Amino acid sequence: MQELKSLSDAILTGDAKTARDVTEKALAAGVDPLTLVNEYMIPAMTEVGRRYECNEYFVPELLISARAMKASLELIRPLLVASGREPAGRVAIGTVKGDLHDIGKNLVAAMLEGGGFEVIDLGVNVAPEQFVAAVREKKAQIVAMSALLTTTMPSMKSTIEALEAAGVRRQVKVLVGGAPITQRFADEIGADGYSENAPGAVTLARQALSLA
Ligand code: B1M
């Protein structure tokens, strides 16, 4: 496991090449991709966040750590995504307006695909109208929103209000997540579900469509 620790270290120091190499070797050796994500990569990003809070790291360090995390996730993503199955349902996912964090959202999207859902990834900085359009035009049955900033959390509420105003709120389930989100906040804004992690989002999506 010492070798896998070098994956955490590579993310911490923003060494994308080492992150990719270690991931490649670990996968070839049969290490479970979710073990890499949950035990090495997410804790490393949490530590990056802690260092940023303590003024040990600044935005450039956040960026290069995120780049290293993405380099590793590029290899892991195809292993999480299933193929050739009838879709369990259609999910429109995005990081809400004003928010550019997409690592967690991408992980949730990949796991939803792995769970058999068709995923419409709206990207980052997604305005309420874009979620509404995905429901109207792409017939999404679930809207999944991610927010990492406390300042963008209200955009989740605005999106639910926009779905109501457009008359489509009853035809979709709204699921929310992201580091600052809580079950209490989800209840307050009238979301249908909250999950604190990516596997939980898949369970939630299945429950929302009564597939669980
Ligand atoms: Co930013 N950033 N950042 N950042 N960043 C945080 C979020 C912060 C907590 C750091 C800190 O202070 N400790 C802080 C927010 C503080 C606050 O709001 N109170 C912060 C800040 C302040 C900022 C800027 C304002 C900094 C600046 O410019 N001064 C700026 C804002 C830009 C913007 O969005 N408008 C900014 C920018 C960035 C980068 C671009 C440099 C980079 C993002 C790169 C990218 O995503 N492409 C970045 C990063 C990397 C972070 C931290 C360090 C790591 C985030 C991450 O990727 N975590 C973060 C600190 C932290 O979170 N510890 C921080 C790993 C990821 C797998 O976890 O996204 O939580 P997460 O996803 C999880 C769960 O939350 C859940 O499942 C995922 C997997 O388990 N989940 C869902 C997520 N979405 C879900 C949706 C669902 C369900 C579950 O739907 C149903």
- Tell whether ligand 1 has an atom less than 6 A from the beta carbon of residue 195: yes
Give all domains of the chain, ordered by start, each with its CATH number: 2-83 (1.10.1240.10), 90-208 (3.40.50.280)
* Average of per-residue pLDDT across 48-58: 93
Mutate which of 62, 203, 209 for ligand 1? The one with the most ligand atoms within 8 Å of its CB, which is: 62
Whether residue 194 has pLDDT greater than 60: yes
Instruction: Please give the pLDDT value at position 55.
Output: 95
What letter does residue 146 receive in the DSSP assignment?
E
Q: Please say whether the beta carbons of 105 and 123 come within 8 A.
A: no
**Alpha helices (H) along the chain:** 2-13, 16-28, 33-35, 42-53, 59-80, 103-114, 128-138, 154-165, 183-189, 198-208
Ligand 1, residue 62: give the atom nearest the CA: 41
86 CA distance to ligand 1 centroid (A)?
33
Whether residue 82 has pLDDT greater than 70: no
Instruction: Please give the pLDDT value at position 84.
Output: 57
High-pLDDT (> 70) share of the chain, %: 97
Confidence of residue 210 (pLDDT cuts 50, 70, 90): confident
Whether residue 125 has pLDDT greater than 90: yes
Whether residue 212 has pLDDT greater than 70: no
* Average of per-residue pLDDT across 152-180: 98
Indicate whether this model's pTM tops 0.85: yes
46 CA distance to ligand 1 centroid (A)?
9
Q: Is the dihedral of CA 43, 12, 75, 89 positive or negative?
A: positive
Instruction: Please give the pLDDT value at position 143.
Output: 98
Whether residue 188 has pLDDT greater than 90: yes
Residues 6+ apart with CB under 8 A from 71: 16, 17, 19, 20, 23
Whether residue 2 has pLDDT greater than 90: no
- Tell whether ligand 1 has an atom less than 6 A from the beta carbon of residue 66: yes
159 CA distance to ligand 1 centroid (A)?
20
Confidence of residue 83 (pLDDT cuts 50, 70, 90): low
- DSSP string of 90-119? EEEEEEBTT----HHHHHHHHHHHHTT-EE
* Average of per-residue pLDDT across 157-165: 98
105 CA distance to ligand 1 centroid (A)?
10
